[in-house]
Chains A and B, each alone.
Chain A
Amino acid sequence: MAEERPAPVRRLRGLAVAIFLACLLSVAAPLPSGAGQEPQKVVFNDPLEPLNRLVFAINEALDTVILRPAAVIYGAVVPGAVRRGVRNVVRHLSLPFTFVNEVAQGEWKRSGDTAQRFFINTMVGFAGLYDVAEKQGFPHRSTDFGSTLAAWGVGDGPYLVLPIAGPSNVRDAAGLLVQGVADPVDVGFRRADLDHMPLVRAGAATLDFRYRNLETLDDFKANSLDYYAFIRTLYRQRRAFEIDSGTEKYLLGGKDKSGDDYAYPPPRPDFSRDRPGR
């Protein structure tokens, strides 16, 4: 499966351990889509809710005191061109691990596009500072090891709120763990004795994310009736959509006109071939 594995990924043992862990956990965890389940039943798979709510509250407090103010200052002080550069570099550095994951998922076409994007922006885009590739038809895409585990058939497991990292689930948390060990760029940094760089990179990515979502998260927080529950459903639905598993049964599922089972919302058909430019 992984014959195209690029040279930087050598920590296979750590990877294998993490995968094993993930599989174990997800087997132990109750699956969200039990057969014969009453279709109208609400299924948020959150057995650790009290603990999750506590961690969520702590994260929120940290966000209010540190991250959000930092993002506001970042937006007010740093010029737009620099912010774009930061964003481009952060996204650029994510591409090697994205490539690894796409290969592991068997997404050959996508992995080829990712490799070309990385090559173009490294050479012409000043090591990723400018996004030249987007105009060449290679827009930014991302995936992660949680998605790879999903592609290998690992179920998502119970919802988890991780300290600092926020909303996740057992599978995606395992994915993050693997990423922490195996991200080729971070591995490279550590090899070059730039031990602080992974942290700087993560900090920049977090700041960029928080800055871009300032208004949105303010809006969600102000307008939701239960912010925790809102973020939880957002995370789960969004992940199911990104991963496009199509197997996760949602409430309101049932049978379509030809009698086939469907999940709700029903998976979106692929219209991309009718749509030029996508």
Chain B
Amino acid sequence: MKPGKIAMRPLRLALFLPFLLFAVSGSAAADDGAGRFIQQLAEKVLPQLTDPSTPLEERKARFRAVMNRDFDVEKIGKLVLGRHWRRAPPAKREEFRKLLEDYISGLYARRFEDLAGLEIKVDGVRDFDGWSMVYTTATRANGAPVLLDWRVDSKDGRHAITDLVIEGVSMVIAQREEFSAIVLESGGLDGLMLKLRTRIAG
């Protein structure tokens, strides 16, 4: 068989990844279900983050506030680090949580403009032990629909987003595998944190 016959396999999802964690935010009344929570997020919070007439710095600050309120960054840290989280002392966990928050908000803040006019429709909800998967379809005026699924953890009647699955790709698993590779390579959590710190500063 000749070389070159093998076409690169289209990673179509790639096109959608930039949308990612942008929208991981939200606000909702505590008595609502997870689906309602995501619906409200899409209708009320997302437009505030994507409105092109608001200055970028202001939008970044809003995103940060939303992340603090409606994202469980600590839980994300736990899911992403796995056993490395369990082994880390509390002070180190807190340090990592802060880094992760900086990293995520820095990564996605600049992509807000791409998201203006995004419409999110809830297709259905599946409940698990302490968390739910909210299945949505995101549509933009000039693009194909994107399957966007949200993991929403519920605690004491409050909802918080802990993962986003874009066209079948879980951000938590993606970061978990990426971070694990770095932890293995650099011989520990400190190596990963150093790398994150460098990235945030640069």
Contacts and interface: CB of A to CB of B under 8 A. Distances in A.
B143 to A, nearest CB: 13
A110 B145 CA distance: 20
A162 B79 CA distance: 31
A155 to B, nearest CB: 18
A162 B174 contact: no
Nearest to A215: B18
Interface string A34-52: 0000001110100000000
Interface in B105-152: 107, 123-124, 126-129, 133, 135, 137, 145, 147, 149, 151
Contacts of B1: 177, 180-181
Contacts of B36: none
Interface stretch (B22-30, B44-52, B54-62, B163-171): B163-171
Interface stretch (A78-86, A120-128, A202-210): A202-210
Interface string B60-93: 0000000000000000000100110000000000
A240 B13 CA distance: 13
B105 to A, nearest CB: 13
Interface in A251-277: 251-252, 254-257, 262, 264-266, 268-269, 271, 274-275
Given A265-B163, A266-B133, A164 B168 contact: no
Given A199-B2, A225-B196, A268-B168, A42 B149 contact: no
Given A42-B176, A220-B14, A254 B129 contact: yes
A220 B176 CA distance: 16
Contact of A226 (B124, B126, B181): B181
B7 A40 contact: no
Interface residues of B, number: 54
B199 interface: yes
B201 interface: no
Nearest to B164: A265
A202 B178 contact: no
A278 interface: yes
Nearest to B3: A164
B174 A240 contact: no
B178 A229 contact: yes
A234 B7 contact: no
A230 B172 CA distance: 12
Interface of B: 1-11, 13-15, 17-18, 79, 82-83, 107, 123-124, 126-129, 133, 135, 137, 145, 147, 149, 151, 163, 165, 167-170, 172-174, 176-182, 185, 192, 195-196, 199
